[in-house]
Amino acid sequence: MKKSQFRSPLYPYLLLLPQLSIVVIFFYWPAAEAIRSSFYLEDPFGFSSTFVGLDNFKDMVLRSDYVATARFTVIFSVLVTFFSLATALLLAVTADRVLRGASTYKTLLMWVYAIAPPVAGLIGIMLFDNLVGPITEFFRTIGWDFKLGVNRFDTAFAMITISIWKQIPVNFIFFLSGLQGIPKSVQEAASIDCKSTLRRFWTITFPLLAPTGFFLLIINITYSLFDTFGVIDVVLKGEPGNNPVTLVYKVFLDGFRGNDLGGSSAQSVILMVLVLILTVFQFRMIERRVHYS
Amino acid sequence: MTKVVIDKVRKVYPNGTEALSPSSLDIAHGEFIVLVGPSGCGKSTLLRMIAGLEEITDGTISIGDRVVNDLDPAERDIAMVFQNYALYPHMSVYQNMAYGLKNRGRSKPDIETAVSKAAKLLHIEEFLHRRPSQLSGGQRQRVAMGRAIVRDPSLFLFDEPLSNLDAKLRNQMRIEIRKLQRELDVTSIYVTHDQIEAMTMADKIAVLNTGRIEQIGTPSEIYHKPASIFVASFMGAPPMNILDGKYNGNGGVEVADLGQLTIDHALKTTGKVQVGIRPENVEIRTEASQNTVAIKIDFLEELGAGRLLHTMIGSTPFIAHLDNEHPIDSDNIFAHLPPQALHLFDAETGQRV
């Protein structure tokens, strides 16, 4: 590590100040504020607040709708993460077989990445539209009376499918570049050592993709927990009614629709802790495992 | 007993370039054959077709008594050592060596015996539980060898296995590979662009150039009786001296700037020829006689065991290899080109005449 000498001991801190103030103002302050208000009961008009200790948390975990939402969030995250990773891997492996050397084709495939996520989400919702959606139309021809926003299961199905669909290109590109990073000669050596293509995939290709895969796993869990907010909001059109939502969406609903700022803050504190655990886990794992070369 | 027969094998890539024109090669059991040539000559393509990593456009390859054209690489009973070793980075040395055996359904104690035997032979027992990334280049090379021999295949394929090693290690591994191959008595095909490796290791050399086999022969045949001007100039360091001349029809070749050279056999062609002589066959004399030319020393290169004399004959560079015994009087010297040491090639076809 190179050491630099500064004339004044304050100078380096001055250089750090802009970045630090952004972090403090936009991340730590709101977080601290959320933690503070999770211990208070605020009246809907914001005139007064009463310290209630852990009552908000107690309230939250005892309410059946919170537990149901948490359960749905887990199912939602597992399905979205698993299917977006698995589909992307399958597509990447298939593309990789054709792509060795064909760089124009690769560039074309990469373009998918350039489509803005909200646009992709909107297109997805149009496909599931109750009146004009081709997928809805297709489901009806095979006898599934698909009703987005009316039937709980149908809504959840659309939310999950669109979330998976939107995430596949990102995963695909990472997997593809991961696959292309595996030396050709290693694959060739494996083809001499092992006849079965499938077995070769699981014993050579898959382990060598593990660093990419692990990174994507964390990215996808985060995505399915937090970044799917937009998709869910567009699907529900802001009116959840009886439909399932994820924890992040519930924070928004209770806080801004229900005006329960204290309860909403308590929920977001729980989510913060979740992210913290996830981050620690990620750094631990990345340190410990999956570095070859 | 494993003999390998390569019968009129040809390789054309989808874009139409012909990497290898129809080539045939017979390899007897236990033979160590080296494919040598400059890059792009088709030697690696041929090796990869034998391994099954590259489709065969035309012709057949048989290993033992099986035609292997349509067999998977894993079914050909071969083992290959790659230039960059191609070890599995996520497996220990032991697992690297055991992988091929495991996939062939060998039992665990069986695998253990085979791996420890190979590890002992290659002196890599102490590394068995390390990852390839924790090994030096030479050690990785040994592991790659170990992975090949542990399977006890009927054919070894080597694709420039020593080119990533430093010079000293390369010399040592060259000898070790050859010793090992003799000990195991396994037919081997070895690709290199290094003519010293080819000369020192091979039972038989196949010299390739622009997708064609120019000559197949023992190292001594290749060196002393090169079939073409390409083989003559590719094999040997420093390379053979080549002079342009014209055959006069009765035992003499007219060479510009040199005069008439007597040769020891009659040629069928009349016309332009090229005359080659190896530097070590040039004799240095102090007086003119038959087949001599007066030379001026441009540069003397000291090799310790001898010296290289650089000069020009006309506008052609010319090198003579001298021993240390005779002091050189730089004013008055002549190069003598003994008739029996001259190689003659047709100037148009490049073939030996």
Picking from B86, B100, B103, the nearest residue to A188 by CB comes out as B86
Which residues fall within 8 angstroms of residue B289, CB to CB, at 6 or more apart?
A: B334, B336
3-state DSSP percent of chain A in helix, strand and coil, to 5? 75, 0, 25
Task: List pLDDT tens digits, range B227-264.
Answer: 999 999 999 888 999 999 888 877 788 888 788 888 88
| Nearest residue to B81 via CA among B169, B164, B17, B15 | B164
Angle between helices A206-222 and A152-180 (to 10 degrees): 140
Coil, helix or strand for B205? strand
* CATH label, B4-232, candidates 3.30.460.20, 1.10.3720.10, 3.40.50.620, 3.40.50.300: 3.40.50.300
Residue A293 — pLDDT band, cuts 50, 70, 90?
Answer: very low
Closest chain B CA to residue A200: B103
Task: List pLDDT tens digits, range B51-91.
Answer: 999 999 999 999 988 999 999 999 999 999 999 999 999 99
Give me the mean pLDDT over the B211-217 stretch: 94
CA atoms within 13 A on the CB side of B173: 22
For residue B74, list chain A residues with Cβ-Cβ distance below 8 A.
191-195
For residue A207, list chain B residues with Cβ-Cβ distance below 8 A.
90
Domain ranges of chain A: 55-288
How far apart (Å, rounded) are the C-alpha atoms in residues B280 and B301? 14
Give me the mean pLDDT over the A205-210 stretch: 91
For residue A205, list chain B residues with Cβ-Cβ distance below 8 A.
none
How far apart (Å, rounded) are the C-alpha atoms in residues A57 and B200? 81
Residue A110 — pLDDT band, cuts 50, 70, 90?
Answer: low
The pLDDT assigned to B284 comes to: 87
Picking from B86, B90, B131, the nearest residue to A208 by CB comes out as B90
The pLDDT assigned to B95 comes to: 95
Q: Does the ipTM exceed 0.90?
A: no
Residue A245 has pLDDT above 80, yes or no: yes
Task: List pLDDT tens digits, range A78-100.
Answer: 999 999 999 999 988 888 887 66
Task: List pLDDT tens digits, range A143-167.
Answer: 888 887 778 888 889 889 888 888 8
Residue A290 — pLDDT band, cuts 50, 70, 90?
Answer: low
Task: List pLDDT tens digits, range B279-304.
Answer: 999 988 888 888 888 888 888 888 88
Contact criterion met (CB < 8 Å) for B83 and A191: no
Residue B24 has pLDDT above 90, yes or no: yes
Residue A60 — pLDDT band, cuts 50, 70, 90?
Answer: confident
Contact criterion met (CB < 8 Å) for A195 and B51: no
Query: Does the beta carbon of B118 lie under 8 angstroms from any beta carbon of chain A?
Result: no
Distance of CA A80 to the CA centre of its chain: 8
Contact criterion met (CB < 8 Å) for B88 and A186: yes
Domain ranges of chain B: 4-232, 239-346
Task: List pLDDT tens digits, range B154-205.
Answer: 999 999 999 888 888 889 899 999 999 999 999 999 999 999 999 999 999 9
Q: What is the pTM of this model?
A: 0.81
Residue A280 has pLDDT above 60, yes or no: yes
CATH number for region A55-288: 1.10.3720.10
Task: List pLDDT tens digits, range A211-244.
Answer: 888 889 888 998 898 888 888 888 887 777 778 8
Residue with the two structure tokens 């060596």: B97
CA–CA distance from B229 to each of A17, A64, B246 (Å)? 74, 91, 16
DSSP-assigned letter for residue B249: S
For residue B82, list chain A residues with Cβ-Cβ distance below 8 A.
185, 188-189
CATH number for region B239-346: 2.40.50.140
Contact criterion met (CB < 8 Å) for B74 and A183: no
Residue A1 has pLDDT above 60, yes or no: no
Residue A103 — pLDDT band, cuts 50, 70, 90?
Answer: low
Tokens at B153, concatenated: 């295949």
Instruction: Supply the mean pLDDT for chain A.
Output: 84
The pLDDT assigned to A116 comes to: 67
Task: List pLDDT tens digits, range B292-337.
Answer: 888 888 888 888 888 899 998 888 899 999 887 777 766 778 889 9
Residues in chain B: 353
